[in-house]
Structure 1
Amino acid sequence: MLHILYLVHDLAEPAVRRRVLMLQAGGSRVTLAGFRRGDNPLAAVEGVTPLDLGATRDGKFAQRLKAVGHAAFSLAATLRGVSRPDVIVARNLEMLALANRASTLFGGDVPIVYECLDIHRLLLRGDAVGKTLRHAERRLGRKARLLITSSPAFIENYFLPYGQIDTPVLLLENKVLTLGQKMHRPARPAEPPQPGMPWKIGWFGALRCRRSLELLAQFSRRMEGRFEIVLRGRPAYTEFADFDSFVAAEPFMDFHGPYRNPEDLADIYGQVHFSWAIDFFEAGLNSSWLLPNRLYEGCRHGAVPIAMRDVETGRLLARHAMGALLSEPSADALVSLIGGISADAYRGLSRSVTAEDPKNWICDEDDCRALVARLAALAGGPRQAAPIQVAA
């Protein structure tokens, strides 16, 4: 059985749990190690007890660098008793540094995979900070045997023009993990509201975009209750002056907390008509290039995605002739787009979503096995490595 050491920057991130489940479903054994982000609990993954590398704080880059340095110094002790992995997967740049250290501790020849699903704005700066970070990424990436990323725009706009990684690339989109027959049930989109009841827009996942929050609040007030905004997930409190107070003061907006992914997706998306697939957090950069989890989640379960026309998400939807596409980020534009939508028009938009091949939005057991097979090939195939002790 292939043994994968998975190094992550935030053990509580739902996408980490999803990736571990994917690797397990593909037939591998996973050792998970990473940082705690503030007071968030460790990732709850069946059969995996994470190795704790320490605590980091959201938005505190210098503190994160210090934590990585401390973790690198103590990594031998952290990994003592862990059997030699066949592959090390590093999620994000700081973990790539630790992956290089871990590979050295295990003999220096363990293949490294760099999993980069976001391009941090610091990497794109033209000053000394940006140049230093890009140099570090190139240097640390020399030992990487594979780059995993989630959007072709990341490759086209960053990795190729900046010459960051000279290694094969695996495009692994943020699709919905569907394990077991129950998860393959057909999408059941919400029915149009009864007279006097509101349309609902769901904004789910990592809630980090202040501009989206303000735009949705303005729109819902303009519509005077004909639309309600439903928020679920993990707010990035560092990006908002006071997220909880802001939402509490909005008459047509509610926050319902975190949810389980993928277990709760059908239920929560089945309660909304539209899925907010817009992110201005790093407009023109990462936010314009990414294909977010919520795009796949909403489409898989029949919610009509709302996206900006001129970003990667909008271009993908346009190719499929589906979704509601905004030409400009304003409440006026949103009112014009969907403010007067009829039940028949909504059903047409919904049918364009549900008519798509579900494989465009889901990752199943075959995909999990294909991923693990690709990783196994880096190690020359899985091998039964005897447990070894890493010297302190």
Structure 2
Amino acid sequence: MLNILYLVHDLCDPAVRRRVTMLRAGGASVTLAGFRRTETVPDFDGLSPIDLGPTSDRAFAQRLAAIARAALSLGAKLATIEKPDIIIGRNLEMLALANRAKALFGGSAPVVYECLDIHRLLLSDGAVGRAMRGAERLFGRETALLLTSSPAFVRDYFEAYGQIRAPAVLLQNKILDLSGKPPGQAKLPRPPTANEPWKIGWFGALRCRKSLELLAAFTRQMQGRFEVVLRGRPAHVEFEDFDGFVRAEPYLSFHGAYRNPDELAAIYGEVHFSWAIDFFEEGLNSSWLLPNRLYEGCRFGAVPIAMKGTETARFLADRHIGLLLSEASVDNLVALVGGIDTDGYIVRRRKITVQDLGTWICDAADCRALVERLGRLAGIARQDVPLEVAA
């Protein structure tokens, strides 16, 4: 059995839980260690993570200090665990600790760099950006494999900036489905009657103030013909007053967090469109990523709305699905969706529902393929299991 040490920046990140589940479902033994942004260490279905201490969102200096302390104490923290076959560092700070862990265990375990977002500081032209890119190149010199979620990250950052020379494997942010059951057709929302609104769902990590303001202005102009349903985890530090803003808008409503993947069918079954736009790091990470909500919404028949010129738009255009916004303005959004009727909506939805469900879902076979690919780095896995490689 492949023994993996997984070092993460935030034990509370839902995506961490999903990756741990994938690795274990693929047949690996996982030791999880990381920082936390809550008072207590979360439980992972019987797996007790090694606590590296608390950190805070956007507190860059505090996180650097926490990494330095963790590097000094890492030997003691990991003293009782079995020597890993593979070490995965999720995000740049954990890549640094992965190299430290490799040295502690004798230097033979390959290091894998998992990078699913490119932080804006890494793209700065100033001294801080140059220093961080230099640190990434330094820590990544002996990286054996890069795991990332969008081909644009490889093409427009890692290759364009000359950051990581290791082979890249594409692990898209698909829905993890380990039920073992043949995936059935989702229950689709019915189009509204004459007196009902069209509904746009914006679900997941809510961090984009520009999107919130655009959707609010759009729904007001449409005078109730459209409503926006928000669910997930708002990044309150990015908004002056998220809760107050939403309460003051007549056609916006926030319904809190949801269980993923348990409640996805229910929440997407209530909306007609999925907001797949993020201006949080406009022109940079937001233009390159392929977000969770893209796969979630399409799996359950919600027509995605994306911004032209982004990787999400390219993904949709390649499959001739979705709606693409040419400019982030109320007028353009009205022109794009304001005149939609039932027949037009059903045609667009049908183009999504006829896609192969493997486009949206990751299953047990995908988990096994991932673990086999990692195992090949350690020389203890079969050679015949394919895994999608980023071009």
**Shorter-chain TM-score range:** over 0.9
- d(CA) in 1 for partners of 2:141, 2:330: 46
Quote the Cα distance in structure 1 between the aligned partners of 2:183 and 2:210.
Answer: 35
Asked whether the equivalents of residues 234 and 257 of structure 1 are also in contact (C-alpha less than 8 Å), the reply is yes
Q: Contact 2:325–2:336 (CA<8 Å) still a contact in 1?
A: yes
**2:29 maps to 1:25:** no
Q: Point out which structure has higher relative CO (alpha carbons under 8 A, 6+ apart).
A: 1
Match of 2:121 in 1: 122
Question: One-letter code of the match for 1:322?
Answer: I
TM-score (norm 1): 0.95
Kept in 2: contact 1:3–1:86 (CA 8 A): yes
Q: Whole-Å Cα distance in 2 between the matches of residues 90 and 213 of structure 1?
A: 33
Kept after mapping to 2: 8 A contact 1:96/1:140: yes
Measured after TM superposition, the shift of residue 38 of structure 1 is 4.7
The aligned counterpart of 2:385 is none
**How far apart, CA to CA, are the structure 2 residues paired with 1:38 and 1:281?**
24
Q: Deviations over 1:205-240 (max 9, x none)?
A: 111111001111111111112111111111111111
**CA shift for structure 1 position 259:** 1.4
Matched, 1:172 2:171: yes
> Are the counterparts in 1 of residues 12 and 38 from structure 2 also a CA contact under 8 Å?
no
1:230 and 2:240 correspond: no
Q: Aligned partner of 1:54: which letter?
A: G
Displacement, 1:311? Answer: 0.8
CA separation in 2, counterparts of 1:82 and 1:185?
A: 41
Distance 2:33 2:184 in 1: 34
Q: Which residue identity does 1:16 align to in structure 2?
A: V
What's the CA shift for 1:44? 4.3
Shift of 1:47: 2.2
Unaligned runs of 5+ in 2: 382-391
Contact 2:180/2:364 (8 A) holds in 1 = no
Retained in 1: the 8 A contact 2:153–2:288? Answer: yes
1:294 correspondence with 2:293: yes
Could you tell me which residue of structure 1 aligns to residue 249 of structure 2?
250
SS at match of 1:278: coil
**Does structure 1 conserve the Cα–Cα contact (< 8 Å) formed by 2:7 and 2:98?**
yes
* Structure 2 counterpart SS, 1:45: coil
- 1:189 and 1:54 map into 2 onto residues whose CA distance is 44
Please report how far the alpha carbon of residue 294 of structure 1 lies from its aligned counterpart in structure 2 after TM superposition. 0.6
Post-superposition Cα deviations, 1:331-371, rounded to whole Å, max 9, x if no partner, equal 11111111121111111111011011111111111110000
Cα distance, 1:182 vs structure 2: 4.8
Aligned 8 A contact 1:309 1:325 in 2: yes
Deviates more, 1:71-80 or 1:367-376: 71-80
Structure 2 match to 1:107: 106
Distance in 2 between the 1:328 and 1:43 partners? 41
Q: Does the aligned pair in 2 maintain the 1:38–1:57 contact within 8 Å?
A: no
Match of residue 361 from structure 1: 360
Report how far residue 16 of structure 1 moved: 0.8
* CA displacement at 1:74 relative to structure 2: 1.1
Structure 2 residue aligned with 1:213: 212
SS in 2 for 1:161: coil
Q: Distance in 2 between matches of 1:220 and 1:43?
A: 39
TM-score of the superposed pair, with normalisation by structure 2: 0.95
Task: Report the RMSD for the aligned CA atoms in angstroms.
Answer: 1.3
Matches within 5 A, 1:28-39: 28-38=28-38
For each residue in 1:264-301, what CA deviation from the matched residue of structure 2 results, as whole angstroms up to 9, or x when unmatched? 11111111110000000111111011111110111111
Secondary structure of the equivalent of 1:88? strand
Q: Which residue of 1 aligns with 2:387?
A: none
- Give the alignment of 1:323-338 within 5 angstroms: 323-338=322-337
For structure 1, list consecutive stretches of 5 or more residues without a partner in the other structure. 383-392
Q: Given residue 121 of structure 2, which amino acid in structure 1 is its aligned partner?
A: L
SS at match of 2:245: helix
Distance 2:223 2:43 in 1: 41
Give the partner amino acid of 2:199: K
Aligned letter for 1:271?
E
Q: 1:115: how far off?
A: 0.3
Q: 1: CA distance between counterparts of 2:278 and 2:208?
A: 6
CA-CA distance at 1:104 after TM superposition: 1.1
Query: Secondary structure at the residue paired with 1:184?
Result: coil
Residues 205 and 183 (structure 1 numbering): CA distance in 2 closer, same or farther, change over 3 Å? farther
User: AA paired with 2:241?
Assistant: D
Q: After TM superposition, list the pairs within 5 Å mapping 1:137-156 onto structure 2.
A: 137-156=136-155
Any idea what SS the aligned residue of 1:74 has?
Answer: helix
Q: Report the counterpart of residue 389 of structure 2 in structure 1.
A: none
Q: What is the letter of the counterpart of residue 37 of structure 2? A: R
